[in-house]
Amino acid sequence: MRPEFILINPWIYDFAAYDLWSKPLGLLALAGFLRSRGCKIHLIDCLDIHHPAMTRRSSLKKPIRRTYGTGKFWREKITKPPPLKHILRSYSRYGISRQAFVKDLKAVKKPAAILVTSLMTYWYPGVHEAISLAKKTYPNTPVILGGIYARLCRDHALRFSGADSVVKQGDPAHPEFVLSVLEEFDISVDGTLKDKNEPYYPAFDLYRKIEYVCLSTSFGCPFRCQYCASHFLNPKFSQRDPHHVLEEVLYWHKNYGIKDFAFYDDALLLHSDSHLSVFLEELIRMNLGLRFHTPNALHVREITREIVGLLQRAGFRTIRLGLETSDLEMHEDLDKKISEGEFERAVYHLKEADFSKKQIGAYILMGLPGQSVESVMNTIRFVAGTGATPYLAEYSPLPHTSLWEKAVASSDYDLTSEPLFHNNTLLPCWNADERARVPELKNLVKEAR
């Protein structure tokens, strides 16, 4: 008898949340892998916009959806956890109702195990609640927790999550890691493919409606930016065969009519001559009218006239650039990703290829330890001056990053013991005077747009 598994993507508990091509790609890759081994999979995505219990009977305000499949989540205001009581903003559970979640749990008769993912460290209340309800529904079924929170804050997860196991690894490039985890609970899964001729992909088809598909053409990142935990979560950088990526895109387009694809790569343009360019050139010849988006940001240094021409002809609609700051001295400490003139040249190439200002966005980090408000203002003006659109990205301090110790030393919050204080809404590494000037920065961004 083939084992059945429940895979859960928990709620978001936060002051704000937005669906910017947000899907649990690692969990879906795991679902695809287990299914290819003959297992039966039940996906419960608490962030599912199209859950029938919400679309038919919910008393909550229907989320506004926007172009290319992005938009708001279902949202219900809840009481703030005690450590965040001082924040003068409403706090919400984003996603489906607890009743809909429990009903979905009970619909599965005998799950062999329940696998729960986790994303931002400060979203752990939703993770803990999902685990608590799962344990209450199936007290004798092992609950296994993985994902970003589980790995970056493993001690916290071991102490407070309620999971029976908190995994140390979680590589979407090699999802077979789950086999050894399941063996700890005497759960055996056939290690051979059910059909060697049928490739498996992240199981987006488990959703009731697919608005877009997320892709990773690579795993990990060769850069060592001080504010990023990618090198800890995926120590080895590897790139997929571009022809296999093309096959995946064609699979979703031909079988499910998908037109929008979002890249989750941390270094999409690296080695583009032998990687992305190969994929794009073949895609352009097919002229399928697809649309592509880069919410994870592109490395400015890799943007050439040639690659931009391919992006434009292939149908890229959303370009995000990883600028972080226009202060080149700060870049020397943070990431060494940009040299003088490279950002301006990248934007010039994009505009030359008829990408509009609205399509060209630049992420600007705000709230870094030691960063001044004036430095952020200068960066906003710099981006606007190039003809790109500035997007503020509040810094969230993360364990296992090079900047972590400096963040802990500069913050008034106890970052080491309470992940809720990692929340970027708090700007935990800025003082009260600096936080009070955030409206100035947001107004400057509005003017620039």
The domain segmentation of the chain, as residue ranges, is 4-183, 212-448
Per-residue model confidence (pLDDT) at position 58? 65
The CATH number of the domain covering residues in 4-183:
3.40.50.280
Radius of gyration for the alpha carbons in the chain, expressed in angstroms and rounded: 22
Provide the residue-wise pLDDT of the chain in tens; the chain has 449 residues.
Answer: 789 999 999 999 999 999 999 999 999 999 999 999 999 999 999 999 999 999 776 678 899 999 899 999 999 999 999 999 999 999 999 999 999 999 999 999 999 999 999 999 999 999 999 999 999 999 999 999 999 999 999 999 999 999 999 998 766 667 888 999 999 999 999 766 656 556 789 999 999 999 999 999 999 999 889 999 999 999 999 999 999 999 999 999 999 999 999 999 999 999 999 999 999 999 999 999 999 999 999 999 999 999 999 999 999 999 999 999 998 888 877 888 888 999 999 999 999 999 999 999 999 999 999 999 999 999 999 999 999 999 999 999 999 999 999 999 999 999 999 999 999 999 999 999 999 999 999 999 999 98
Which helix (H) or strand (E) element contains residue 320?
strand 316-324
**CB atoms < 10 A from the CB of 436, how many?**
11
Class of domain 212-448 (CATH, top level)? alpha beta
Q: Residue 308 class from Cβ within 10 Å (0-12 exposed, 13-18 middle, 19+ buried)?
A: buried
* pTM (two decimals): 0.95
Kindly provide the b/e burial profile for residues 7-41, where b requires at least 16 CB atoms within 10 angstroms of the residue's own CB: bbbbbbbbeebebebbbbbbbbbbbbbbbbbebeb
Report the half-sphere exposure of 115 (CA within 13 A, side-chain side). Answer: 28
